[in-house]
């Protein structure tokens, strides 16, 4: 059996949103690359006109943006990915590993992530930054929202840090399925995970902590909603953007009563912690 492979070269800021769009055209397996990502589907079982529409839609918004298609033999994608998947240690305090990894050393926190290629394994700099910052934050008995949760790795850390309840969501069905598996594997019974966008979520009450590791454009677009859904004095932890984007995000955050309390950087990627003022 053959698969259609779509190779997408794009600005990393747009990888996630483009993967979500491409999934609507029928592609069901994704793998991030240094220059963007690859998407796979059984040969020709995708909506060609929708894929062309997606490419045209983002041509003038994403630079660079290139789509290449070819035909390859079917493989066990997880098996191929697992060959190169290594455990990650965050700040010498948190081990992120797959179930098949042998534990060589104990750490204060250990998170098991099944490698199903959803975003968020600790390998990307932004996920690393989010986990590092979470270990410095107070989650005890707090209500948390995880926007664009991917593998649910940030929700799992929040649970291990003592959060009372976590509401997580992602637009991608495969992320929600993977997230549920990871939540179960880490024995976290206080995480609810949903499929949909922030606008779709009808959560009761406000949150004391919001986590959002997405991309600059989505963060800017949703900043007001984050603020509206937070209690006064609540914390917002952001990543998914470059260091040169910090000023733009701070400016938009300031428009919605959000003030920077801490920033962190790793290989040109950045994170911001903000607090909601009265």
Task: Give the mean model confidence (pLDDT) for residues 65-88.
Answer: 73
- Tell whether the model's pLDDT for residue 77 goes beyond 60: no
- Tell whether the model's pLDDT for residue 73 goes beyond 80: no
Q: Tens of pLDDT along 105-133? A: 899 999 998 756 545 555 678 899 999 99
Q: Which residues, at least 6 apart from 216, have a Cβ–Cβ distance to it below 8 Å? A: 13, 240, 241, 242, 245, 248, 249
Q: How far apart are CA 229 and CA 226, in angstroms?
A: 5
Q: Tens of pLDDT along 184-233? A: 999 999 999 999 999 999 999 999 999 999 888 889 999 999 999 999 99
Matching residue, tokens 């919605």: 256
Taken in order of first residue, the domains within the chain and their CATH numbers are: 2-75 (3.30.70.120), 125-276 (3.40.50.150)
Question: Residue 213: which of 125, 98, 144 has the closest Cα?
Answer: 125
257, 226 contact by CB (below 8 A): no
Question: Residue 235: which of 266, 251, 259, 214 has the closest Cα?
Answer: 259
Residue 164 DSSP code: S
270, 132 contact by CB (below 8 A): no
Q: Alpha-carbon dihedral of residues 77, 193, 216, 19, nearest 10 degrees?
A: 30
Task: Give the mean model confidence (pLDDT) for residues 244-265.
Answer: 96
Q: Tens of pLDDT along 7-24? A: 999 987 788 789 888 988
Considering the entire predicted model, what is its pTM? 0.75
Q: What is the pLDDT of residue 84?
A: 57
Helix or strand holding residue 161 (H, E): none
- Tell whether the model's pLDDT for residue 75 goes beyond 80: no
Helix or strand holding residue 57 (H, E): helix 48-58
């Amino acid at each position: 059996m053959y698969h259609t492979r779509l190779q997408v070269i794009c600005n990393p800021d747009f990888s996630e949103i483009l993967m979500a769009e491409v999934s609507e055209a029928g592609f069901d397996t994704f793998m991030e690359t240094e220059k963007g990502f690859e998407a796979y589907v059984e040969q020709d079982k995708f909506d060609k006109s929708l894929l062309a529409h997606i490419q045209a839609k983002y041509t003038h918004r994403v630079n660079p943006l290139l789509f290449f298609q070819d035909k390859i033999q079917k493989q066990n994608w997880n098996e191929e990915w697992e060959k190169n998947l290594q455990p990650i240690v965050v700040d010498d305090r948190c081990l992120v590993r797959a179930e098949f990894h042998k534990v060589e050393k104990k750490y204060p926190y250990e998170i098991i992530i099944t490698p199903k290629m959803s975003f968020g394994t600790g390998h990307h700099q932004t996920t690393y930054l989010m986990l590092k910052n979470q270990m410095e934050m107070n989650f005890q008995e707090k209500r948390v929202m995880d926007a664009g949760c991917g593998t649910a790795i940030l929700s799992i850390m929040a649970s291990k840090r003592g959060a009372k309840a976590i509401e997580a969501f992602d637009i991608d069905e495969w992320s929600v399925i993977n997230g549920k598996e990871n939540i179960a594997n880490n024995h976290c019974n206080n995480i609810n995970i949903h499929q949909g966008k922030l606008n779709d979520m009808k959560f009761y009450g406000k949150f004391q902590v919001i986590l959002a590791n997405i991309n600059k454009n989505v963060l800017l677009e949703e900043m007001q909603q984050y603020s509206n859904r937070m209690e006064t004095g609540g914390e917002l932890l952001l990543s998914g953007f470059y260091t040169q984007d910090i000023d733009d995000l701070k400016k938009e955050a300031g428009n919605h009563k959000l003030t920077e309390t801490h920033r962190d950087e790793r290989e040109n990627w950045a994170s911001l912690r903000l607090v909601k003022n009265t």
